[in-house]
Each structure stands twice: as C-alpha cells, then as structure tokens.
C-alpha cells in the first residue's frame, strides 16, 4: 500500500441519517467511506474488503453493536481491525470494560463532536496505513532475504563444485594477477612444477617462463592483452630445474587484471613423438638396407667361394693367384659390411653390448652422401674399444643428431673430426667413454648457446625442428652421461665441438670388448 492509497472506513448504523452525518464529518479525511445498515451487510463487506476502521453504534435496535463486535473479533482475519463504538447513552466503566473486552479500541459519546470523531478515526486510519506498509516492507524484506540466501547457497555450492573440479583436473590450473602474483594453484600445478601452494605464494611466475615457442613471452603477453587469450607451448622450469614443454592456454578475465592459465605437460609426448619419428626414419632405411643385404648376400657367398676355388686352382700362376686373393679379401670385407649393416638396423628389446666405434662408423656410413656432397674432410681417431650396455637405436640417435648438425653447419665444406677415447668424468670420477664431434662450421653465437638444448630451439627456420639436441641430451641423461659443447677460434677458423660422456661401468674400461672385427673397427685415421 502506497502512502497515498485510500483506506476503507466501514460505518455501521441502522439509521440512514446517522450514517449520513458520519459521512459528512469523515469526508474531510479523504478516505473511502463504506456504509452498512445491518450486521450481516457489515460482515459481508468486511469479508470482501480490507477495512481500516469500523465505526458502529453500540445500541442499535435491531442490532447489538457488542454482538457484531464479537462476530468480527471471532474471525481470525479481523482480530486487529480497529473498532470505534458510538454510544448514545452514558456508559458506565463496567460497560466500557465490557466493550474493551470485545475488542473495542475506543468510544465516542453522543453528541458526536465532529473534530473528535474525525481525529479518532484519523489516528486509526494512519495506524492501519502504517501497519500495512510495515507488513509489506516486512514481506519484501523476507522475500529478499530468502532470495539472497538461496543465491548464496547456490553460489556457494557452485563455488565448491568449481573448486572441486579445478582440484580434480589433471591439468595445472593457475590464476595469477597481471603483475604475476599467484592467486590460485591447484594440485595439477603442484605436480607439474613441484612447488606446493605454500611455496609458490608470492613467487613471480613470469620468471619460470623461459622461452616461448613459437613466439617470445613478450609477444604472448601482448597477444593476451589484446586478444584476451593465448594458446601455445611454453618451456618452463620446474622446481628441480627440469625443462618442461607445457601446452598452455591463457585467458584474461573480464576486468583484465587476472589471467587464468591451463597447462598440460607434453614433454614426454613430444620426446616420444620425435624419437619415434627419428626411429621410424631409421627403420625405413633399415628395411631397404635389409633387402639389399639379403639380396646380395647369396651371390656374394657364391662369388667368394668361386674366388677361393680359383685362388687354389693349380693352373693359376703366381700373379693371377695374387689378384684372386686380393679379390677374395675385398669380398670378405663387403660381406662384413653387409652383416654389420643388418645388425645396425636390428633393434633389440633388451640392452645389449654396443660397440661405439662400430656404431659411429655406421652413422657416418648413413651420412656418406652429404659428407661427399658438401666436400667435407672426415678425420677419425678412436683410441678406445670400450663398449656400452644399452640400446643401439637410442645411442645411434645421439650421434646421428650430432654428426647431422656438424654436417649441416658446413654446407660449403670443412673438417669433421670424430674421436672416441676412454676417460674419467671430472665431476663424478666415473670411468666411461668420451665421444667428440668437432666441425669447422660458423660456430655458435653466445646468445644462442644458452638455449641450444631447449626443445624447439633452432636457427634453421623451417628446416630444423630444434629437437635434435634436446632428444640427444635426454638419451645421454638416461645413460647417466653428460653432453656439452664449446666453440673456439684458431688460425682464423671456427671450431665447434660437441662432447658426450657415457659411463661404461668400472670393469669395461680398457677391456677388449669384441672380437677381431671390432678391433679392426679401431681404424685410427688421423
């Protein structure tokens, strides 16, 4: 009820003249005046209309005002309706108390003084209006409280659900403000980075982002600021310093002051994919080599036998015998290479004894074409015959990458030096093999040196994957070895040397590892 909404005043009297006189007096109040000439009519009106005040004569011949008051009060809806009695006779206090008991709120005696009647009715009209307003406000308040409570309950449940989901996610989910301070760090992030929630608090996440591929971190941040989101691979460092490739999605919030980052570790995936790609390439070449070796093996044997018979034939003179022996010797070498080639491609599931000189010679054989095409002068110096226990496929990948890089660094020719020697690791004092690959290419720029072993780092634009050195480092670490490089200048020539240390285990140092074949493989060519 708005303050200017009119309220209803019910006037009950069996004498129309009296009703008329009340009407005249009360018309100044500006409210709705409703007349009833019987109790029945009065009750009917009360049931249909919201009445603020009932004004009634106590002593009506056909209707006792007290009885009507009783009826009104009995009804639960009218328990608080104001009733003003007009009494024609002098009322004793007992009469008055009687009336009050029935719920009368006031009495007016005859002769009615208009101002008094108007004032009294006015008070109750006001009261009614205020009560109604209060009731309405209360109802509104209750409704709002209920709505808000429900809203809170829902948002709390929503929040809890969301937090649970974020917690359950296997991805790292991080919320940070744009200055870098961490606001949210789920268990996925703890697993990925190794820092717990408490440890990460106050840390600047930006510092953990080293490189961004394929764009720089600045470019990613710029894209984030303008496009509101960014997606790509980041190279990050975990707590233990490990280098990780993480597929990342960054989204800026609506206010532009916080960033949601969802990250997934794809290091192993990329490593496996690249290793598989390299291995598949080798396997394909292996199949071709296998077919060729198989096809030439039988005729080769027949020819060797024929030469053997020829060499010992009585009709041959000394000179012919010499040539036959020479041919037989070369044929033996060819069949050796054939067998070696076959064994090179045969992959084993168990670690086996791998001869490094043999393995590296085979890698060189694979790279024969670019070595010749680029006009590269190859120098080999193997002073160790040591072997390793391991998987030839993996070890081959290391040297394919290193020798491949050296060749690619010398498109216009140069020197490629390969060395294998026994050594003791200066750090761990463990014995092992040092294998170095040195080229006379342009060298490595100081600003690139730091990033050489990072995944995706390449200076070969579309031709490079930037994964070769990273994969090689991974494999070397698996063998508990080390890989390093250095570049230097001498006599106006740049040198770049990649050195791999692979532990052999104490017993194998200096031990002759394989039969005469391998010993023959130690073809120290300076």
33 makes contact, choosing from Mg ion, ligand ADP, none, with CB < 5 to 8 Å by partner type, with none
Confirm if 10 and 55 have CB atoms less than 8 A apart.
yes
Question: Of the candidates 424, 362, 441, which has an alpha carbon nearest to the alpha carbon of residue 397?
Answer: 362
Cβ of residue 207: shortest distance to Mg ion, in angstroms?
Answer: 29
263 makes contact, choosing from ligand ADP, Mg ion, none, with CB < 5 to 8 Å by partner type, with none
439 makes contact, choosing from ligand ADP, Mg ion, none, with CB < 5 to 8 Å by partner type, with ligand ADP
Q: Contacts from 32-38 at CB under 8 Å and sequence distance 24+?
A: 32/6, 32/7, 32/8, 33/9, 34/8, 34/9, 34/10, 35/11, 36/10, 36/11, 36/12, 37/12, 37/13, 38/14, 38/62, 38/63
465 makes contact, choosing from Mg ion, ligand ADP, none, with CB < 5 to 8 Å by partner type, with ligand ADP
- Residues lying near Mg ion in the complex (CB under 5 A): 405, 468
DSSP 243-302: EEEEEEEEEE-TTSSEEEEEEEE-HHHHHHHHHHHHHHHHHHHHHHHHHHHHHHHHHHHH
85 makes contact, choosing from ligand ADP, Mg ion, none, with CB < 5 to 8 Å by partner type, with none
Q: Contacts from 243-248 at CB under 8 Å and sequence distance 24+?
A: 243/210, 243/267, 243/453, 243/454, 243/455, 244/192, 245/213, 245/270, 245/455, 245/456, 246/172, 246/192
Cβ of residue 407: shortest distance to ligand ADP, in angstroms?
Answer: 9
474 makes contact, choosing from Mg ion, ligand ADP, none, with CB < 5 to 8 Å by partner type, with none
Confirm if 354 and 346 have CB atoms less than 8 A apart.
no
Which pair of structure tokens corresponds to residue 122? 């006015």
- Residue closer to ligand ADP by CB (options 208, 465) is 465
497 makes contact, choosing from Mg ion, ligand ADP, none, with CB < 5 to 8 Å by partner type, with none
- Residues lying near ligand ADP in the complex (CB under 6 A): 401, 405-406, 409, 439, 441, 444, 448, 452, 457-460, 464-470, 496
Cβ of residue 316: shortest distance to ligand ADP, in angstroms?
Answer: 52
Confirm if 13 and 62 have CB atoms less than 8 A apart.
no
- Residue closer to ligand ADP by CB (options 117, 476) is 476
- Residue closer to ligand ADP by CB (options 31, 274) is 274
Cβ of residue 469: shortest distance to ligand ADP, in angstroms?
Answer: 3
- Residue closer to ligand ADP by CB (options 384, 440) is 440
- Residue closer to ligand ADP by CB (options 188, 468) is 468
- Residue closer to ligand ADP by CB (options 193, 501) is 501
- Which residue in the shown chain puts its C-beta closest to Mg ion? 468
């Amino acid at each position: 009820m708005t303050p200017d909404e009119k309220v209803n005043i019910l006037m009950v009297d069996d004498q129309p003249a009296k009703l008329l006189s009340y009407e005249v007096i009360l018309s100044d109040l500006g409210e709705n005046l409703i007349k009833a000439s019987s109790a029945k009519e009065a009750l009917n009106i009360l049931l249909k209309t919201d009445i603020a005040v009932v004004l009634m004569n106590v002593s009506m011949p056909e209707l006792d005002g007290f009885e009507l008051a009783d009826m009104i009060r009995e009804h639960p809806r009218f328990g608080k309706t104001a009733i003003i009695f007009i009494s024609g006779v002098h009322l004793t206090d007992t009469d008055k108390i009687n009336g009050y008991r029935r719920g009368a709120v006031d009495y007016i005696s005859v002769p009615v003084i208009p101002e008094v009647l108007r004032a009294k009715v006015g008070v109750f009209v006001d009261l009614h209006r205020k009560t109604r307003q209060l009731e309405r406000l209360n109802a509104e308040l209750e409704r709002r409280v209920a709505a808000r409570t429900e809203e809170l309950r829902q948002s709390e449940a929503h929040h809890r659900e969301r937090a649970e989901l974020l917690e359950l996610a296997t991805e790292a989910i991080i919320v940070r403000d744009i200055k870098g301070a961490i606001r949210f760090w789920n268990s996925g992030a703890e697993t990925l980075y190794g820092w717990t929630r408490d440890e990460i608090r106050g840390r600047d996440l930006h510092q953990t982002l080293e490189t961004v591929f394929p764009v720089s971190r600045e470019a990613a941040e710029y894209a984030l600021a303008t496009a509101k989101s960014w997606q790509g691979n980041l190279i990050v460092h975990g707590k233990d310093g490990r280098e990780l490739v993480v597929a990342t999605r960054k989204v800026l919030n609506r206010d532009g002051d916080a960033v949601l980052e969802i990250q997934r570790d794809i290091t192993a995936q990329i490593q496996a994919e690249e290793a598989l790609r390299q291995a598949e390439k080798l396997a394909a070449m292996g199949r071709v080599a296998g077919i060729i070796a198989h096809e030439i093996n039988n005729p080769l044997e027949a020819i060797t036998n024929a030469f053997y018979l020829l060499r010992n034939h009585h009709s041959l003179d000394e000179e012919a015998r010499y040539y036959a022996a020479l041919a037989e010797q070369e044929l033996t070498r060819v069949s050796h290479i054939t067998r070696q080639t076959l064994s090179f491609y045969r992959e084993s599931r168990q670690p086996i004894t791998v001869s490094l000189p043999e393995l590296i010679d085979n890698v060189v054989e694979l790279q024969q074409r670019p070595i010749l095409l680029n006009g590269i002068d190859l120098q080999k110096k193997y002073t160790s015959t040591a072997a390793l226990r391991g998987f030839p496929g993996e070890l081959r990948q290391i040297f394919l990458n290193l020798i491949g890089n050296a060749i690619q660094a010398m498109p216009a020719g140069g020197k490629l030096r390969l060395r294998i020697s026994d050594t003791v690791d200066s750090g761990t004092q463990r014995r092992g093999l040092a294998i170095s690959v040195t080229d006379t290419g342009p060298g490595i720029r100081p600003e690139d040196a730091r990033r050489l072993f990072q995944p995706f780092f390449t200076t070969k634009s579309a031709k490079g994957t930037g994964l070769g050195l990273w994969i090689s480092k991974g494999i070397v670490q698996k063998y508990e070895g080390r890989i390093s490089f250095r570049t230097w200048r001498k006599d106006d020539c740049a040198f770049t040397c990649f050195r791999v240390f692979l532990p052999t285990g104490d017993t194998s140092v200096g031990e002759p590892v394989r039969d005469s074949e391998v010993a023959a493989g130690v073809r120290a060519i300076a």
